[in-house]
């Protein structure tokens, strides 16, 4: 009987790697060379875009997007510090922003190349934002004229939405701020954006990028003052930014004052100490008294948890406010501050419906404790009242106003009788109801 020959047994198996699984070596220099070769054949900007549009089908823009932007901005591959890599036979091209004319007409043509390219390849948009954050950190390595061109293009890109205004925050870097490089660049961006899109768009961009309250951070440390900022920006025709910055600084100062007031209340400081603290800070921050009194009112009213029943909230409010009349009186030394307080009370009562009937009682309390005077009350009633709940509050105050008028007339007719003047009493709540 014949025996079958045994089949050979494989001791191992060789797995062939699929071509699609092979990881291609990262080669930014090779990508740069391919792009520059194509750009050099283009005779004008229209041909440059046509080449870039078609090259995206062959070259890997997804992988080398930032390298592509390096070339279109600086002409070559940027290395740390802002210089151009010199590897290869043709490391740089003139088909870029840095080699273009700095006039705005030329800048706008280059803007269209970027806009069309990102519109064609949407995934480049996010890459471009990251690219700009990198490039802006390198600006000290560029020449002054290159920085001007980049600043003008940055303004155009912010204006058309290609990059968010927040990319400018990377300029807040010590090596850029200490020599004024960051400030000069920022001003060029702002001036260009104002010229191209107008002041409203510039203001909107600053707010969107949260830049309006950070402008001082871009100044050299030894010149980081409000006065220097104001002089530099006004010289460049950017008065509106100065106003915006001042308004933002004022808001920040008010937040700090409100926090100081809350801290003093929590620490159970005496009224005298609180008044001293508030006056010191308001003077330092240049917050006028009529604004301080509004902050004090808002803070005081935020301390209580108010009853939801309308018939009880008025009594609760009066009891609460009696503890703070001395504090309020310290910041109503002018008629403007008195009127500001009355208006704040009116707006508060209007916005908090349970307080609608409490307005007259609160004003009466302030009158009796000399927080506000009859002159301020008369002025509020006749001309300075808010439109919020106007008729309701004027009607509510009518009897009180009539009492004040009769008391004033009686005082004038009997001003020589000191005893009678001394006997004159304040109205009760029942009197003016």
Distance, CA of 328 to CA of 296 (rounded, Å): 7
Domains in the chain: boundaries: 26-123, 288-406
The residues near 54 (Cβ < 8 Å, ≥ 6 apart) are none
Strand partners, 115: none
What is the number of residues in the chain? 433
What value, to the nearest 5°, has the Cα angle with vertex 154 and ends 177 and 186? 30
The residues near 3 (Cβ < 8 Å, ≥ 6 apart) are none
Q: What topology is assigned to 288-406 in CATH?
A: 1.25.40
Secondary structure of residue 386 in the 3-state scheme: coil
Strand partners, 79: 83
Helix (H) or strand (E) holding 326: helix 325-329
Residue 404 exposure: Cα atoms within 13 Å on the Cβ side: 17
Distance, CA of 252 to CA of 273 (rounded, Å): 23
Radius of gyration of the chain (CA): 35
- DSSP letter, residue 10: P
Query: pLDDT of the chain along its 433 residues, tens only?
Result: 455 555 555 454 454 545 554 466 888 899 999 999 999 888 888 899 899 999 988 999 999 999 999 999 999 999 988 899 998 888 999 999 999 999 999 999 999 999 999 999 999 999 999 999 999 999 999 999 999 999 999 999 999 999 999 999 999 999 999 999 999 999 999 999 999 999 999 999 999 998 988 999 999 999 999 899 999 999 999 999 999 888 888 888 899 999 999 999 999 999 999 999 999 999 988 899 999 999 999 999 999 999 888 889 999 999 999 999 999 999 999 999 999 999 999 999 999 999 999 999 999 999 999 999 999 999 999 988 889 989 999 999 999 999 888 876 665 555 555 544 444 555 555 555 5
pTM of the model: 0.68
């Amino acid at each position: 009987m014949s025996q079958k020959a045994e089949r050979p047994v494989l001791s191992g198996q060789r797995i062939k790697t699929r071509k699609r699984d092979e990881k291609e070596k990262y080669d930014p220099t090779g990508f740069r060379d391919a792009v520059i070769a194509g750009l050099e054949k283009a005779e004008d900007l229209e041909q440059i875009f046509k080449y870039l549009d078609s090259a995206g089908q062959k070259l890997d823009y997804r992988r080398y997007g930032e390298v592509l932007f390096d070339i279109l901005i600086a002409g070559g591959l940027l290395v740390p510090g802002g210089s151009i890599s010199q590897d290869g036979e043709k490391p740089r091209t003139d088909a870029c922003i840095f080699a273009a004319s700095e006039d705005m007409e030329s800048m706008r043509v280059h803007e269209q190349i970027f806009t069309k390219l990102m519109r064609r390849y949407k995934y480049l948009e996010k890459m471009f934002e990251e690219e700009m954050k990198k490039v802006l950190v390198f600006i000290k390595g560029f020449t002054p004229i290159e920085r001007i061109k980049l600043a003008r293009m940055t303004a155009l890109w912010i204006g058309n939405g290609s990059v968010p205004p927040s990319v400018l925050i990377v300029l807040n870097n010590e090596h850029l701020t200490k020599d004024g490089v960051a400030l000069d660049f920022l001003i060029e961006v702002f001036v260009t954006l104002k010229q191209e899109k107008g002041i409203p768009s510039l203001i909107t961009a600053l707010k969107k990028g949260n830049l309006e309250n950070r402008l001082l951070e871009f100044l050299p440390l030894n010149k980081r003052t409000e006065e220097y900022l104001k002089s530099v920006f006004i010289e460049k025709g950017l008065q509106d930014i100065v106003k915006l910055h001042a308004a933002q600084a004022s808001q920040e100062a008010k937040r700090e004052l409100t926090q100081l007031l809350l801290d003093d209340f929590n620490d159970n400081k005496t009224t005298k100490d609180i008044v001293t603290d508030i006056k010191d800070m308001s003077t330092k921050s240049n917050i006028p008294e009529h604004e301080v009194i509004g902050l004090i009112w808002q803070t005081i009213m935020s301390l209580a948890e108010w009853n939801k029943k309308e018939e009880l909230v008025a009594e609760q409010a009066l009891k609460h406010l009696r503890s703070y009349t001395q504090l309020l009186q310290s910041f109503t030394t002018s008629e403007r501050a008195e009127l500001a307080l009355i208006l704040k009370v009116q707006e508060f009562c209007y916005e908090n419906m349970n307080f609608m009937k409490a307005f007259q009682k609160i004003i009466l309390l302030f009158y009796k404790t000399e927080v506000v005077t009859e002159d301020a009350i008369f002025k509020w009633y006749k001309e300075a009242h808010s439109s919020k709940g106007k008729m309701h509050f004027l009607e509510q105050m009518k009897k009180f106003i009539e009492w004040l008028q009769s008391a004033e007339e009686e005082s004038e007719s009997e001003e020589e009788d000191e005893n009678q003047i001394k006997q004159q009493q304040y109205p009760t709540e029942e009197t003016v109801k």
